[in-house]
Amino acid sequence: MEHKVFTLEDDFAASMSESYTVDGASEVFKAHKASAVIVHSVKRRNTGDTMNTSAKKPARRHVVALVISIIIAIMEPATWCMMLFSRSDMPLTSIGLLSLRYFTVLSNLLLGLASLIYAICLIRVLRGSVEHAPIWAHRLKFAATTAVTVTLMTVLLFLGPTLGYGAMFAGVNFWFHLALPVLGIVEFILFDVSEPVSFKGTLLGVLPTFIYGIFYCGNILINGVGEGRATNDWYGFAMWGVEYMPVVFAIMLLATWVFAIALRALNRRFAK
pTM of the model: 0.77
In the chain, domain spans: 58-270
Can you tell me the mean pLDDT for 153-159?
92
Can you tell me the mean pLDDT for 137-159?
96
Phi and psi at residue 171, to the nearest 5°: 60, -135
Residue 91, C-beta contacts closer than 8 angstroms, at least 6 positions apart:
163, 167, 168
Can you tell me the mean pLDDT for 157-177?
90
Q: Say what the alpha-carbon torsion angle 126, 129, 135, 139 is, to the nearest 10 degrees.
A: -40
Cα 248 from chain centroid (whole Å): 29
Residue 172 scores a pLDDT above 60: yes
Quick one: pLDDT band at residue 155, thresholds 50, 70, 90? very high
Quick one: pLDDT band at residue 20, thresholds 50, 70, 90? very low
What's the first-to-final CA gap in the chain, in angstroms? Answer: 87
pLDDT tens digits, residue range 233-267?
A: 888 888 888 888 889 999 999 999 999 999 999 99
Can you tell me the mean pLDDT for 57-69?
89
CB-based burial of residue 147 (10 Å sphere; 0-12 exposed, 13-18 middle, 19+ buried)?
buried
- Across the chain, mean pLDDT equals 83
Residue 202 scores a pLDDT above 90: yes
Residue 215 scores a pLDDT above 90: yes
Quick one: pLDDT band at residue 183, thresholds 50, 70, 90? very high
Among the listed residues 68, 79, 109, the one whose alpha carbon sits nearest the alpha carbon of residue 212: 109
